[in-house]
Structure 1
């Protein structure tokens, strides 16, 4: 069943999710890191991301990501109903959803009626990025989108739980 989300909804990233996301994008900084967002969608349509589940980018590309259907199915079977979105990185720093991203968002959100949010983390993921991050992905580097039936593709505000420290 498709849950209605509200246009003024936001994405809230737990500290654990931020840490896993930072590790994943840095470890796979030369290709598009990708995976799923696990958590809940509250009554106001906010996506509460509790955990990140990295998945293999079967395209092994710096400009495109794809995961194997069986990998996605495995997460769905082990964590039923907890997938609330998808993330991927843009290692080259492109700070917008690509045409392919937009087509996938429309297909999943509207045609398949799956209420996922889509996160894009923009690079480049070099030492300067890590220094700027200071243990937490800068919110300016995270884009979130959802394709609404009436309003079309909208950028969603991202909020992060604060101040975790990690060693890469």
Structure 2
């Protein structure tokens, strides 16, 4: 279209790398998922987690339209929400419409969904998960425990509570 200055293009066009999308690298998906899981657990200072067999199968069958970033986000969300040592398919929250690689019908669904800009009502953002997690666990956990489980500081937890309008519930102190 001529939007980019030609002289600048040739300056940065030293080497062209072709990186296939994740859905075309099926043999790498499990290795990447395991590496991302371990890195995320280390970064968030959580216990070492592992994928359930169903989660492994779902990771392998999913088309990953968002490529590695989508895989990273799904795993990070699962690590934050995990309550046991095993990550299940539910925690990954991946859209079942994108299962079965190479399906022509899948490509048309993906194109129509992106053209419409529609998000699945089942897909929740990380913010939605944060809110749900806090609301479900605030009565049974201290602020420190909540923050640790979410992999954030207490200050960050407080800031997010303010941003989302989730006031901290004061614990009732029994007087005996």
Give the TM-score normalised by the residue count of structure 1. 0.27
Question: Per chain length, whose mean CA-contact separation is higher, i.e. which structure has more relative contact order (CA < 8 Å, sep 6+)?
Answer: 1
Higher strand share: 1
Give the TM-score normalised by the residue count of structure 2. 0.26
- Higher Cα Rg: structure 1 or 2? 2
Higher helix share: 2
